[in-house]
Structure 1
Amino acid sequence: MRGRIEDGQPVTIGPVEPAVVEAGDVVLVRWKGGVLLHLVKEATRDRVLIGNNVGRVNGWASRRDVLGRVVRVHPLGS
């Protein structure tokens, strides 16, 4: 998420109804046996396309796998 959230930068994640997640949101999502904090690139009725802030796309995830949404990015060192 370089440029938007730097490595090691603290964030606050809040609950979110997966149905309201849209492109541009940063979400915590279950992905391949783990969890990732990623940018939503596109959203359909059932899925979200996740990737990073510098152009990489990971792939489609079910909306059921969206666990939360970033509500605040804290300054580094806080």
Structure 2
Amino acid sequence: MGMLDAMAARVVAGATVEFKPTGSSMIPLIRSRQSVKVAPVDPSKLQVGDIVLARVHGSVYLHLVSALDVPGGRVQISNNRGQVNGWTGHDRVFGICVSVDGVTRPGAEGKMRTPEGEPQDR
């Protein structure tokens, strides 16, 4: 199990996690080894441009929501360099990035869910 798989498991269990992912696919939004905070998400509230922790084709990514299929209950996941990872269902979108190096991500507020699975009142 990789680091992102472990973080996804904790988020699914209701935890908000902080970790330092590696890689360059999300530059300049997230640089390698920057601290990110990811909270459980209500996938029905996602918008294009949100950064999410999601499983696509068996791999877990911390990538962008690049398109929405609201009737189908799924989102398209891509990196910040134009590569599309694919579509995934709301049940495989685990969390939303709420901050990078302590700076709050625009648009993340109000999209988180409580540990009981209920959307937050924001």
Calculate the TM-score normalised by the size of structure 1.
0.87
Name the structure 1 match of 2:12.
none
Structure 2 counterpart of 1:25, from 37, 47, 50? 50
Q: Is the 8 A contact 2:56 2:87 kept in 1?
A: no
Structure with the larger RCO, 1 or 2 (CA within 8 Å, 6+ apart)? 1
**How many pairs does the alignment contain?**
75
Secondary structure (helix, strand or coil) at the match of 2:91 reads helix
More helix by share: 2
1:72 has 2:99 as partner = yes
Calculate the TM-score normalised by the size of structure 2.
0.57
1:38-77 alignment runs, 5 A limit = 38-45=63-70, 46-74=73-101
- CA–CA separation in structure 1 for the residues paired with 2:67 and 2:32: 23
Deviation (angstroms), 1:33: 2.8
- CA–CA separation in structure 2 for the residues paired with 1:23 and 1:30: 17
Which 5+ residue runs of structure 2 have no aligned equivalent?
1-25, 103-122
Secondary structure (helix, strand or coil) at the match of 1:37 reads strand
Percentage of identical aligned residues: 43
1:16-69, Cα deviation, whole Å (9 max, x unpaired): 111111101000001233311010001111110110111111111111100000
- CA–CA separation in structure 1 for the residues paired with 2:38 and 2:46: 13
Moved over 2 A (4+): 31-34
- CA–CA separation in structure 2 for the residues paired with 1:53 and 1:20: 21
Computing the radius of gyration from Cα coordinates, the structure with the larger value is: 2
- CA–CA separation in structure 2 for the residues paired with 1:31 and 1:61: 6
Name the structure 2 match of 1:8.
33
What root-mean-square deviation, in Å, do the aligned CA atoms of Structure 1 and Structure 2 show?
A: 1.3
More strand by share: 1
